[in-house]
Homo-oligomer: A and B are copies of this chain.
Amino acid sequence: MKNDIVWDQEVDVLIVGSGFAGLSAAIEAKSRYNNVMIIEKMKAAGGNSIISDGGIAAPNTHLQNQKNIADSKELMYQDMIKAGLGYNNPILLKTLVEHAKEAFKWTIDSLEVPYLDRVDIFGGHSVARCYTPVGISGGIIIRKMIKKINELCIPIKYSHYFQSIFVNDQHVVIGAVILKDYNYKTQQGTTMKIKVNKGIILASGGYGADVSFRQIQNPRLTSDISTTNKPFATAEVLKSALSIGAGSVQLSHIQLGAWSSPDEKGFGHGPLFADYILFQYGVIIDPITGKRFINELIDRKQSADALLNIGHPCIGIADDEAVKTSGWDISKAVNKNVVVKFDSLKQIAEHYDIPFDPLRTTIKRYNNFVKIRHDKDFQKPIVELAKPIETKPYYVMRLWPKVHFTMGGLLINEKANVLDFNGNIIKNLYAAGEVVGGVHGASRLGSCSITECIVFGRIAGQNI
C-alpha cells in the first residue's frame, strides 16, 4: 500500500524545527547531502531558542583557562547528575559533556558568535562555566546560524506544520505529511506528502505550552499555570513519533520556576527580584494562614511543588534594606506593578487579604531566626548579609509557578537515532534538543539546554 503514495516533493533530509537543534543539524547534514530542507510551523525562525538568554555551558574552555577556573567534563557530569537526581541517561549525558566544549567552539569558529568576556556560574553548577553572547540573547546565536544556513543555501520553509510520519512495512521512515501555508490561528493548511530519502530529524522543542499534553503527565499543570515558553511550544511532533512506536522518557519531568509572577506574562521581570532578593532576604507567606511554609532557598523543583500544593499564589515580602543589600535594580518590576511597595505590614495584610496577627507574628518569628542565625521552622540557611525584615518600604511580589522546560521526550541513543521501547533503532528517524528526553533527568541546570541542542543537533546532522 505504501508504494502507492503520490509524493508532492522529495528531499534527502527533512528537519523539523528551526531552533538551535534544528539549525545545527541542518548545517551538519548539508555537508553530506545536497537536498536538506528545514520546516518551521511559525512565520519566523528560532522557536523558543530565540527568547532564551543564549547562555551555553561547557567545561575546559579557553575562557575558563584565561580566568584560571579549574573545571572538567567529569565535574559537569556530576553537577548535572546531582540536579537530575540520578535520572539522567548516563550515555547521553556523557556524550553531552564530551562534546560541549567543541560545540561552544563551533559557535565561535564556524558561526562567529561573539561572547561576553565573562564566565558565569548559575545555581547547581560547581564552577563558573556558562558563556553568554554579546547582547545576552539566544537571538544572537540564531541570527548567526541563519546566516550560515543562507550561505549553504538550505531552504527554511515557514508556515509548514509537521503532521505525521510515514513508515513502510519494515518500519523504516520514508516520508511525512506536512501542512503548508499553515495558519497558526485556524490550524489549517494544505496537505502535502514529502518523500524522505535519508531521514527526518525532529528538533521541534518541548511541550511547556501544551496544556493538555503536560496535564496527562502532571494533572496540576492546568491552564491556570502559565509558562515562560512561547505559546507554540506544543507536543504534536513528539506525539507523531510516539504514535509510530518511538519510546518516550520521563514525560512527567516538567520543570517549573517558583520565581515567577502571575501578574505578568512569560518570564517577565519578577524572577530577578524573587531569585536575588526575596528568596535570600525575605519570606514567602501563604495569604490564607499568614504563615511561612517553606525554606525560601530550597531548590527550584521543591519550591514550585510547595506552591502547587498550597494551591494558590503566595506572597513574597522583602524590605528596603534587602533591596539595597542586593545591589540589584528592580525598577522594571516595580514600574510594571509586579513588585509593589508598601509602608507597613498592616497595609500588606489589607491589600492581599492576609490575616494580620499571624502575619505580624510570622515576620517577628522569622526576624528572630535571622538574629540567632538559625531558622528553627524550615532550616533556611541565613545568608551572611541577611537582616531582620523591618525597614520600609516593603517590597511585595505574588508568586505562582510557571512551566519553564520539559526534561522528558523521545528516547534516543548517543547517535541521535530515535529508539523504540525495545531499544531498537527506528530507521531514518533522528531527534535532538528539547524534544528528546533523559539528558537532564529530574531537573535541568541553567545554560545546559543550549549545549544539548547544539551537541545533539550536530550529532543528528552528522549521523543521518
Contacts and interface: CB of A to CB of B under 8 A. Distances in A.
Interface of A: 1, 85-90, 212-213, 216-220, 235, 239, 242-243, 245, 247-253, 305, 308-309, 379, 408, 411, 420-423, 438
Contact of A235 (B85, B87, B305, B421): B421
Nearest to A86: B220
Contact of A248 (B86, B248, B308, B423): B248
A243 B411 contact: no
Contacts of A420: 243
Give the secondary structure class of A's interface. loop
7 contacts: A90-B219, A219-B438, A248-B248, A251-B252, A252-B252, A252-B408, A379-B379
Given A217-B249, A242-B245, A242-B421, 4 more contacts: A87-B252, A90-B219, A216-B423, A239-B421
Contacts of A249: 216-217, 252
Contacts of A216: 247, 249, 411, 421, 423
Nearest to A245: B243
A398 to B, nearest CB: 20
B243 A86 contact: no
The 10 closest A-B pairs by CB, nearest first: A250-B252, A243-B245, A239-B421, A86-B220, A89-B219, A90-B219, A87-B218, A86-B308, A217-B250, A86-B309
A242 B249 CA distance: 13
Nearest to A247: B216
A124 B2 CA distance: 54
Nearest to A252: B250
A438 to B, nearest CB: 8
A192 to B, nearest CB: 22
Nearest to A82: B309
Contacts of A251: 248, 250-252
A17 to B, nearest CB: 19
Contact of A219 (B87, B213, B239, B252): B87
B212 A423 contact: yes
A85 B305 contact: yes
Contacts of A438: 219
Contacts of A239: 421-422
A423 B87 CA distance: 28
Contacts of A247: 216
A444 to B, nearest CB: 15
Contacts of A252: 87, 249-253, 408
